[in-house]
Structure 1
Amino acid sequence: MTKVTASACTWRDEGGGEAAAARILPFLEDIGIEVDWIGEQKEQLLGGLAIVEGRILIDPETPVWPGDLLHEAGHIAAVPAEERGTLGPLVADPTDEMVAIAWSYAASLPCGLPLRQLFHDGGYRGDSAALITAYATGHYIGAPMLGVYGMTADLRTALAEGLPAFPSLSRWLR
């Protein structure tokens, strides 16, 4: 099959739809996270999406929130490079989830994805509104772990060492 494009997939409009996906897919490609067709893969954490061998796989027939591409990419991005190619399917882990949430927020900025579309009502176990409020007010849940992974710095360290502070990342992949 051909390369994954926004126009070839089914998107949930309340998640930003095709226009949001058209911004997200090239961003992921540019930073080195592959998105491919799901094919016969059956193991999915989210309907229509799976992480297999460090790649995001998408079912073009299943409606997907574009922001979920960023969330799943956050899981891939936070894994050490030597483990990335074997990642997936995922087992839910609270720390990994918080890291993926923080990473997806940082990635939503260059992709132009508003908080209400990133933290859509169809996910996050009913915590969408709380996440929107937290990130809108600078309470970056999960961001300290991105600092531990060397992907960003807290404000104090950033000012002292001239590094980017969250939500800017010094690198997109761990």
Structure 2
Amino acid sequence: MTEASGLPARDPGGDPTDRIVAFLRGIGLDVREGDVGAAPFLPGLRIEAGALVFDRERLTWPGDLLHEAGHLAVTPAARRALQSEALDDDAMGEFEATAWAYAATVAIGLDPAVLFHEGGYHGRSAALITTYSFGVYPGVQGLVAMGLAVPGDVARAQGLAPYPVMRRWLRE
């Protein structure tokens, strides 16, 4: 971690998948390469007992690792290891997972297009890139409620770094 920002140190280059995996492992999520079966819910990726399992050869979009990690990260710690394939119905929603994944994208130093790739987000990837680039962060209030992030106005008043800088990466 860098002392100034509280974020994991950035790798200025390299393969996005390697950078994402290193980041996710660095914050305490279980990520491993392995067999994802014949029909994983995303190309080359599945969740097994709270771990992200990916097949590097079949992983079409490295950003999918971030989004699914977002779901795991915002799930209460006591239930995280229980998550497999389809996440619990009461697991935090898409907005929170997306906001978490965007913050991770920024922390890693990746282009938002890695997360908001053309193969996902129901054709709204370009709109999401625009939305987040304008500082409109759907889902951030859920992260704030979990104590993971601080919104801009509150952060500035307290001398803290605002979202997309995260206070913590994993929900307790």
Query: Which band: TM-score by shorter chain?
Result: 0.7 to 0.9
Instruction: Tell me, in whole angstroms, the C-alpha distance in 1 between the residues paired with 2:87 and 2:169.
Output: 22
Unaligned segments of structure 1, at least 5 residues? 1-17
Q: Percent identity?
A: 43
Q: Kindly state the Cα deviation for residue 66 of structure 1 after the two structures are TM-superposed.
A: 1.2
Q: 1:70-85 alignment to 2 at 5 Å?
A: 70-85=66-81
> Which range moved further: 20-29 or 60-69?
60-69
Counterpart in the other structure of 1:139: 136
Q: 1:45 to 1:92 in 2, by over 3 A?
A: farther
Counterpart in the other structure of 1:88: 84
State the secondary structure of the residue aligned to 1:36.
strand
TM-score, normalised with respect to structure 2: 0.82
Counterpart in the other structure of 1:117: 114
Q: Count residues in correspondence.
A: 157
Q: Kindly state the Cα deviation for residue 63 of structure 1 after the two structures are TM-superposed.
A: 3.4
Q: Kindly state the Cα deviation for residue 90 of structure 1 after the two structures are TM-superposed.
A: 2.2
Q: Kindly state the Cα deviation for residue 144 of structure 1 after the two structures are TM-superposed.
A: 1.0
Instruction: Tell me, in whole angstroms, the C-alpha distance in 2 between the residues paired with 1:45 and 1:117.
Output: 19
Counterpart in the other structure of 1:37: 33
Instruction: Tell me, in whole angstroms, the C-alpha distance in 1 between the residues paired with 2:39 and 2:72.
Output: 16
State the secondary structure of the residue aligned to 2:95.
helix
> Which range moved further: 84-93 or 103-112?
84-93
State the secondary structure of the residue aligned to 2:85.
coil
Q: Kindly state the Cα deviation for residue 146 of structure 1 after the two structures are TM-superposed.
A: 0.4
> Which range moved further: 155-164 or 126-135?
155-164
Alignment partner for residue 44 of structure 2, among 48, 65, 71? 48
Q: Kindly state the Cα deviation for residue 95 of structure 1 after the two structures are TM-superposed.
A: 5.7
**Cα RMSD (Å):** 2.1
Unaligned segments of structure 2, at least 5 residues? 1-13
Q: Kindly state the Cα deviation for residue 115 of structure 1 after the two structures are TM-superposed.
A: 1.3
Contact 1:99 1:142 in 2 (8 A): yes
Alignment partner for residue 105 of structure 2, among 105, 108, 131? 108
TM-score, normalised with respect to structure 1: 0.81
